[in-house]
Amino acid sequence: MLMEVSRLAAGLARARLDSGDRLDRVILTGKASQLGLAAEVVGRELAAGNRRGEPPVRVVVERTYAKNAASMGAAWAASLESLGAPVADEDLLRQGATEVAVEVDNMLQALPCALSMQGRADQGRVLLPAGTPLREQADGSLRAFTTIGQLGDRCIIRREVDGGQPVPWGVFRWSELDSRLAESGANRRLDRRLWPREIRAGIEVDAAGNLDLLLWRGERPYLRIDRAEPAPRLPAELLGDVADATALADRFYVAGARETPRPALRAAGAAPAPRETFVDEHGEARAGVLGTVALPPAADDGRWGLLYRADDGREHLVGTLSAVPGTRAPHRVSLDAAGVVRVHAGDPPRWTTGDPLDLETRPGVVFRVRLGVPQVEADDHDNPFDGTH
């Protein structure tokens, strides 16, 4: 069996090479490869296919972060192949500089597993499918969010990797939240007239697999705008009805380093920008729309021109938008009911509170609950975030 697998591996390795390329090193990963017999058989099978006069293929067994190293090396090689490399880099490669350091904090750009909901009425309901893009936040972190709606007495979030058996990943119970609240002080209990009937929920997961349940009252969480980079206020004659997201998306454009202006609030042909509620540092809320597309590269001065396209097709410069300093996150635009345009680095932060009782009097404010992993048998292969897949 080992010989058959080794022949298959050697064939696959050579199939990816051009006729003039030479296979000089093979890295084996995984526990089975640490057996001396495995490296011996693989080396022999690889040597059998060598052309006459070629040096033997070097077989290397990587024991530390094996699959991580193989994955990162393959990704690096693929990027060189598809994007090319400067001549200086190619010279260094020929001289044997084949090691690269990779920052892995934000290595995952998409959710590596599916997150579903287990409950009496929501058995197997997929909340975030595998491959869901992780959106970059202002602090550089990557997160994915989705709404759930109303919750029953208990909520179990499960995760599934590559069609495997779903494993519980987080559990929430209203009774536990109420009990913790009662223990924190006198007369602190959830108002059963509101909880859970008028409370909405959603989940948010980051690139490290940390899972939060978000609770709020109202249709959608409110977004904080006081932390954004302010821009000009639109003239009253151009403002119109800010609730009409489709009209706004077709009217307002941004111009950056590229010559052709682009729609400010959505990509051409995309769905309308969603209606949101923004709240400032004083707690004042106002309706608005949030762009669904990242702004193009800014001009050399870090700014974009904001343009209004009239009925006759002519574009009028409304003002300039400034990038948020000190961040490389994609920038987006929002427009509120007062006609104020703001630039956000990443997704605007949600309006949050540390006290669940605030939800009863402040619609739109979010209370976060970190969902703990249930006590299940620890298995590295069940954890999609530990780099062993």
316-368 pLDDT per residue, tens: 888 899 988 878 788 999 888 888 889 999 889 999 999 999 999 999 999 99
| pLDDT value of position 166 | 83
**Cβ-proximal residues to 155 (8 Å cutoff; 6+ apart), any chain:** 117, 119, 148, 171, 172, 173, 201, 213
Q: Give me the DSSP letters along 253-296.
A: EEE-SSSS-EESSS-TTSPPPPEEEEE-TT--EEEEEE-SSPPP
* pLDDT given at position 241: 54
Query: What is the reported pLDDT for 51?
Result: 63
In this predicted structure, what is the pLDDT of residue 87?
65
Say what the pLDDT of residue 49 is. Answer: 64
Q: In the chain, which residues have pLDDT < 50?
A: 243, 245, 376-382, 384-385, 387-389
**Within 13 Å, how many C-alpha atoms sit on residue 190's CB side?**
19
Q: What is the pLDDT of residue 270?
A: 75
pLDDT in tens, 79-104: 767 666 666 777 777 787 767 666 55
> Which residue intervals of the chain bear CATH 2.60.34?
110-221+352-376
First to last CA, the chain: 23
| CATH class given for the domain over 110-221+352-376 | mainly beta
